[in-house]
Structures are given as structure tokens and as C-alpha cells.
Structure 1
Amino acid sequence: MRLSLRSLLLLAFTSTAFGIAVQHDPSTSSELSSRQSSSKLVFAHFMIGIVANRNSPADYDDDMKRAKAAGIDAFALNIGVDPYTDQQLSLAYQSAANNGMKVFISFDFNWYSASGGAAQVGQKIAQYGKLPAQLMVDGKVFASSFAGDGLDMNTVRSNAGMDIYFAPNFHPGQGDFNAIDGALNWMAWPNNGNNKAPQPGGPSISVDAGDKQYVQTLNGKGYIAPASGWFFTHYGPEVSYSKNWVFPGDLLWYRRWREILALQPRFVEIVTWNDYGESHYVGPLSSPHNDDGGSKWVNDMPHNGWLDMAKPFIAAYKAGASSPDSFITQDQLVYWYRITPKNLNCDSTDTTMVPANNASGNYFMGRPNGYDSMQDQVFVVSLLTSPGTVVVNSAGTVYTYNAPAGASAIAVDFKVGTQSFSLVRNGQTVLSGTSLKAIQNTCPCGLYNFNSYVGTVPAGFNDALQPNGLNQLTNGLHVACQPTPSLPASPPPTAAPTTTISVGAAPTSPPI
């Protein structure tokens, strides 16, 4: 239910707010604390609502260590009013303290009441605000939210009983920006101003346009700029809420970090670390969590490479640099793609959606809303210490790109079959690898799956959903599909080349 309500709130907020709108790794907690008054900070949104199966601080340690190694300063702990919320907050705060990380509460106003819950919000801040791992900004206890326009900030502050730096997800034109210290912009994906993907001939609002509106409304207060790589969700009525849409992803993750380096906001929030059901996770599949039904499109679809790609960008952002190039210390290729062509017809088997009679247009049997905004392409970001030739073999069609030193990206049309990647210098192959996940022309588990498969060369660790993260995979399916990870231990053979095409760098915003 959380996801359905969140979507309805986003629909209401963005239709008004946006429809009118045009390598540093702190090694200790004390080092991070000394930077909080002036330094730029990076957060990652963490969903507490799906981790009821965690039983000790150690269950959070891997997340804390991975985030810290990437340059992330704090987790924004998204909470509702689940009975296990306080137990999990206590475990997360203790793990953060043990690992030299910081955390803060992000109140989810799908569950908290903006009209009458201000005292409850303030009391929760007071409950955790003095713990060692609490993020402090400008000497104040930091807190945020998802949604929350209309919240009575005087009541929040009086019940907190301490100085707080409150940076909620208020929306320009709706929330009282005079009463807050900063604000989070959640809308991290290009959209049509009405919480859907842009359609041909219709309005299209970039994430950068949202930045401009927030910065103008905040008028010097702290802006939390969002960074996200994807948003696909495909829930049917088997989990009590139907959601079937995708926002333009493609090269968004790379282009968005370029925008952040140009903007240099005070804060950045990665959306998200572990919201698997909405496909915008950068944390491991193996991170302990319960399945909310999203495993149907998440199984065998790791995103860890996106976190790898972000590392030099995060370091550059914190240094105030306009480019990540000087923060790249080793060669790496990061690639991603959808695993089926967008026009693949799965209607005969994907019958989990409700009929196409919902006025919002979000919920219908068939392809997700926004599917045609995606490109049938493989996306590759090269992080290079010196120039080289990037080679992409998409099922026999070979693309070559003369990549400069530093970070650059290409987008090439994909073919059904095996995807292989290599880096060549002076006629010698210095990196090579074949993806474990082929692009297919059959419907995975009988469904439309518009999630992204992300890989790296050299290959990363073996990352798989754990049993608790798979226990709803078969719910609502109309074809047989085993609820187990199924990526092979070794990649398939590279496809024999049939055609070679030279390509140039993909365009960025802002241009480089």
C-alpha cells in the first residue's frame, strides 16, 4: 500500500508543482562531523519499510560500508508507522555509529499526517536526534521527508525540543518554504508535469528544470538535488496496488551526475539505495530485505555498477570540480540495458494488470505507461585513465568508440543475444568481458520487464536476491517461473562479429 499511496501523492504534487515549471571518502565519524557545517553532502534514500527481517546492527553493516566507500555521507531512513520501525531505526543508527556513517530520518507522508501529525514528527526527531550517528548540519539535527506539504513546522520544532535543520520534500507553490531550512526535490526523472513519462508532442520537463524551480523557490536555502538512474514498476492487483509505468531512463544516471557537477547544490540525494520495487536501487540485491512483489522484475538484475560509476562524480562534486576525470584511478566500463525490446508483445501472458479503464492511465494490462520513451540501446560509460577504444559487440554487431581519458558515454542500438565489451589500447585488449544476461525476445516470467541490467568490466561480485527477497516472485504469474536467481556462473561465448560501426560520444546536458 505504501507504494500505491506514494504514487498518488506524487501525481497530485507534480501536476501542480511541476506542471507550471518550465574521491573523498571520510574514514572516521569525527572527520565527517567536522565537515558538516560547510561541506557538500551526499545522501542515499533507504527504505526501512522493507527490512523488517533485520535482527542486529550487523545486518546493516554491509550497506553502511558500501555507501561510505562510494563517498555517501548519510542514509536518509524513510519511515512509516510500521510496528518494527523503531527497532530498525535503532539498529540502523547503531550500525552507522559502528561504521563511521551518519543517518537521519526521512518521514514518509504516505503514513504521517501533514495536517495533524506534526507533534508525532517532532517527537520522533527528539527520540533519535541525540544519538551518535545522527547527521548534524549547521549544528542542527537534520531531518527530511517524502511529501509533507502543509506540515505545521512550529509544532514540529516545539515537540523536537532541539534545533533542527528540516529539509522536507515540500513542493514549490504548495509547501511553506519560509518555515523550512532546505528542501528535497524527489522528481529525479524527466516527466510530463503530471507524474508520467513525456509523450510525443506533449509537455516534457527535465530534471534540470526542476532544479531551477527549487533553487529559485529556496532563495539561498539548502537544496537537496535528486540523482536517480531509473524508475520502472509493474505491480498488479495480486499485491493490492496496481502500478505499471516507466520513466525515461536510458543514459539518465550519467547525464544527471554531469548536471550535478554543473549545479553544485549543497546536498545530493540518490533515489534510492534499496527501493527494488521501483527499480531505482543502487545497493546490492543481496542486501537483506523482504519482497514487496518487485522480485518479478528485480531477480537477476543487479545495479551495483551504477554505484561504481558514481564514485568519481561524487568525489568531483565534493571537491567543487566540474569534471570527474581527475578522480578516475583505474580503467572501468559500466554498461546497462533493458533485457527485451520495447515492442515485444507479452499481452498473452502478462495478465496481472487491471483493465485499461483507470482514469489516471497508470494502471492497465499491457506495456507500462511510458514504454515508448525508452530506447532499445546498450549504454556504456567508460572511466579511463588514458584514451582507448571501447568495443561493444551486441549479438554480432560491433560498435567501436575512440574514448578520451576520463568519463564519457555511448548509446548503441542493441540486438537480441549476447552482449560483450572490451577496451583496446595500441592494438592490445586491456579489458574484456561478456554480460551474464543476454537480451531476449521472450517475456521474462511472462511479464513486461523494463528494469535495467547493469554490469561492469572488470566484472563485479556475484549479487543475488536472498530467499526473503524472492518469496513473492510467483504471486500473480500466469506462466511457470522459478523463484531463484538464475544468472550463470560464467558468461556465454562472445557472438561472432558480422558488422562493425564507428560511433561518437552520446550528448550530455550540459554539453562537455
Structure 2
Amino acid sequence: MVGNTYPYQLDDWRKDINLALVHGIDGFALNIGSDDWQEARVADAYKAAQGTKFQLFISFDMAVIPCGLRADAERIRKYITDYQSHPNQMKFNGSIVASTFAGESCRFGTNDLNQGWLETLKSADMPPVWFIPSLFVDPSEFPRLTVMDGYFSWNAGWPTTNQEVTFETDKRLLDQLGGRGYMAPCSPWFFTHYGPETYNKNFMYSGDNWLFAERWEHLIANRAHVDMVEVLTWNDYGESHYIGPIEGAQPMSEAWVNGFDHQGWLDLQQYYISAFKSGVYPSVLRDRIFLWARLYPADADAPQDGIGRPSGWQYTEDFLWAMIFSTGGNVSVTLRCGDYAETAELSGTGAFKLRMPLTGPGGQVSATLWRDGAGVVDLIPAGFVFSRYPTSYNFNAFVASSR
């Protein structure tokens, strides 16, 4: 989210790019809005990537970028032509990759969605563009939208109702694409808590049932049908699905973001990125523990929070979610919350999913991996305390991992 990088300097981009690279990420989709200052941040991002194999492409946020007039197309065309020859510009089959968030209302001075985007991106004076937008339209419209070289399905990353995410949604989209490209989303969480005096967004999607891991596993199983995976997101703090460091400028989200580092998910997904790229899950070479959960019961009251409980709260359950990476042997794992504990026996080497209900009075959350009766990994994350008495309706995830 370039909109959250207002104070960034060149070195900030370099740090983010290097951190992403060492975790197996190939590039950033740079979501840009209508602010003029974002042009300088995008320029810094491309400059910081030089000398690395990291790739960048622009994702136009059409929820805020004007697109009703023919002249509005010039901003989009300029971004593409400015970086068409940059060594770190992401390309697909030789064409410049470009995407959007929304854009289904754009006409650019024409009377038709498809024609407006065709004249913007596919005119004779433009370089070849591989356009893979996230237009919120019925998939039955895909055949007539010839401007699309593929599709990015933003909402397929989360269960937006009381159902688990499967690959069935992706399959329905693929059926309508007729062999065109597909970029699938993968995301660990979604919670936003803005009142009517700001963005008026107060809802959540369930991150239960190891959502991040399960979604990656679906994409790996169907990797032959997926051209790219876009992880949502590196730094969208306002919607709580960030996996990068908490830095830059938050969009008034400090109340539910500060103190909730998510970089454990950044480490966790290295395992899945390797499997997606190669088709083979990598060997587990180190014992590790990953834990995440909300810090309060879903039905707990916070009367001092004037915004209220987010919609969708009833779709989440009070569990501690755990991923255990074991190198094998006679292994057991104990999960704890205060005085309550559960122990599971693990067999073999690999990645294991465990969960424990968060019940009773609560307390410090922790976990221990034992091998042959001796503690091998002991994770007691500072601040990971489950409480029955929230001061606000914070449904963000607390994420922790062993070193």
C-alpha cells in the first residue's frame, strides 16, 4: 500500500525489498491512489529494487483514482510508460504487468467498461500490457471483457460468510476466463474498525482454521491453474492483513495494530512459497512453533468502545491456532493459556496443525515442543495474554513465532 509509505526514504524501500527477498517473495504489487506524492514513493521503490532480482508492478486503486473522463486515463498511461523499460518492472510473456483494485465503474469518457480500458491500456501508442485487474463484476461478464489478459480475485482470499475458503471460488472464475491468466489471493486475516466519522468500515472475515496455511495448501494443490499468487498484504494495517513490519504511516489504525506484529506469518509462508514454486514441500530442518489468536473472546463486551462490535464477529471461534514444524523423533507439544493446557503427540517430520480452545479466565499464552521428554522449543511471547475483559473491540490477531 503505497498510501502507507508517506514518510519512506530510499533505505526504507531497500529494507522492505531485502526482507521480502529473503522470505521467498518475488515482488511487490504497488497499490497506488490519487495522491500526487505517491509518484515519488513509486520512483524510490523502483530505484531501491535496482541491482536485485525483485520485481514491481503497479496496481491502480480505482476506488480513489478518477476514471470518468478521457483525460483521467493519462495518469494510468504515464505510470506504465515511465517504467516500461525499467529492469525491475515485472513482465509476463514479455508484457508489462498491471493490475487494479476495482475499476468496474471506469469508462474514461466512453460508454463502455471494456472500451474505456481498451483505449487506456491497449492503444497503438502503448507498450504491450498484461492487464490482470480485480474488477468486481459477475464472472459471466469475463468473456466480453477482452481487455483483460487475466483476472485477480481479491475477495477469494477470505471466507466472507460463515464458510471456509476452498478452491471452488477460484474454479468458477477460471471457467469464465477461457484460458486467460489467473492471479490468486492468499491472506492470513481481515479486520477493520473505523467509525462513521472516518472510513466507516467496521467488519471482519474469519481467519479461523489456520486460514493462511489452508489457503496456501489449496493453491499448491492447484498450482497448474494459478499463474501468480498475490499475498494480501505487506502493509495494509487498516485491514489487519499485513505480514511486513509495522512502519511507515498508519491510516489511523494504531488502536488495533500497535503491539500486534505479524511477521511470524512472514516466516511461516516461506515453507508454502517454496512448495508453490517447486511443487514439492520442503524438508523441515528446524523445530519451530507459530502461534496466533485474538486476545479476547468474540462475544466479550467492550462498552467503552463507541464504534461497536464488528460485523462478522459471530463467524469466528475462540481458539489458539498453532503450526508446529518438527524435525521428527518422539515429539509432543503443549499449548497453554493461563492454567489451562493441552498436549498433543506428533509423529514424523513436517508441518503440523494444532489448536486449543481459549476458555476459562485466560492468561499468558505459551507453547513447548518436547523431544524424548526434554524441552526443545519454549515459546512464551511477551504480550500474548488472553483476557475476558477487552477495552475495545479489537479482533486483530496476535502472532508469535519461535526463533
TM-score, reference length from structure 1: 0.71
**Equivalent position of 2:93 in the other structure:** 138
What stretches of structure 2 of length at least 5 have no aligned partner? 105-112
Cα distance in structure 2, aligned partners of 1:80 and 1:160: 24
* 1:355-504 pair list within 5 angstroms: 366-387=308-329, 388-403=331-346, 404-415=348-359, 416-436=362-382, 437-443=384-390, 446-458=391-403
**Equivalent position of 1:154 in the other structure:** 118
2:155 alignment partner, SS class: coil
> Does the 8 A contact of 2:157 with 2:165 survive in 1?
yes
Q: 2:129 aligned with 1:185, yes or no?
A: no
> Does the 8 A contact of 2:337 with 2:386 survive in 1?
no
**Equivalent position of 2:107 in the other structure:** none
| AA in 2 matched with 1:233 | T
> Does the 8 A contact of 1:393 with 1:399 survive in 2?
yes
Cα distance in structure 2, aligned partners of 1:401 and 1:187: 35
Instruction: Report how far residue 182 of structure 1 moved.
Output: 1.4
| AA in 2 matched with 1:350 | D
Cα distance in structure 2, aligned partners of 1:49 and 1:349: 30
> Does the 8 A contact of 1:303 with 1:455 survive in 2?
yes
| AA in 2 matched with 1:181 | D
Cα distance in structure 1, aligned partners of 2:273 and 2:301: 40
Instruction: Report how far residue 237 of structure 1 moved.
Output: 3.2
**Equivalent position of 2:129 in the other structure:** 164
| AA in 2 matched with 1:128 | Y
| AA in 1 matched with 2:265 | W
Q: 2:82 aligned with 1:127, yes or no?
A: yes
2:122 alignment partner, SS class: helix
Q: 2:163 aligned with 1:217, yes or no?
A: no
Cα distance in structure 2, aligned partners of 1:94 and 1:174: 38
> Does the 8 A contact of 1:123 with 1:159 survive in 2?
no
Cα distance in structure 1, aligned partners of 2:174 and 2:240: 27
1:211 alignment partner, SS class: helix
Percent same amino acid at aligned positions? 32
Q: 2:153 aligned with 1:198, yes or no?
A: no
**Equivalent position of 1:311 in the other structure:** 270
Instruction: Report how far residue 159 of structure 1 moved.
Output: 7.0
> Does the 8 A contact of 1:190 with 1:247 survive in 2?
yes
TM-score, reference length from structure 2: 0.90
Note closer, same or farther for the CA distance 1:207–1:159 as it changes in structure 2 (3 Å cut).
Answer: farther
| AA in 2 matched with 1:153 | W
Q: 2:290 aligned with 1:329, yes or no?
A: no
Q: 2:232 aligned with 1:278, yes or no?
A: no
> Does the 8 A contact of 1:142 with 1:167 survive in 2?
yes
Q: 2:263 aligned with 1:295, yes or no?
A: no
User: CA RMSD of the aligned region, Å?
Assistant: 1.8
> Does the 8 A contact of 2:157 with 2:215 survive in 1?
no
Instruction: Report how far residue 269 of structure 1 moved.
Output: 0.4
Note closer, same or farther for the CA distance 1:342–1:205 as it changes in structure 2 (3 Å cut).
Answer: closer
1:391 alignment partner, SS class: strand
Q: 2:53 aligned with 1:97, yes or no?
A: no
Instruction: Report how far residue 207 of structure 1 moved.
Output: 4.7
Instruction: Report how far residue 408 of structure 1 moved.
Output: 1.7
2:386 alignment partner, SS class: coil
- Greater relative contact order, per chain length (Cα 8 Å cut-off, separation 6+): 1
Instruction: Report how far residue 440 of structure 1 moved.
Output: 1.5
* Matched length: 380
> Does the 8 A contact of 2:243 with 2:262 survive in 1?
yes
Q: 2:34 aligned with 1:81, yes or no?
A: yes
What stretches of structure 1 of length at least 5 have no aligned partner? 1-46, 192-196, 354-365, 459-512
| AA in 2 matched with 1:427 | G
Cα distance in structure 2, aligned partners of 1:109 and 1:305: 31
Note closer, same or farther for the CA distance 1:345–1:131 as it changes in structure 2 (3 Å cut).
Answer: same
> Does the 8 A contact of 2:165 with 2:215 survive in 1?
no
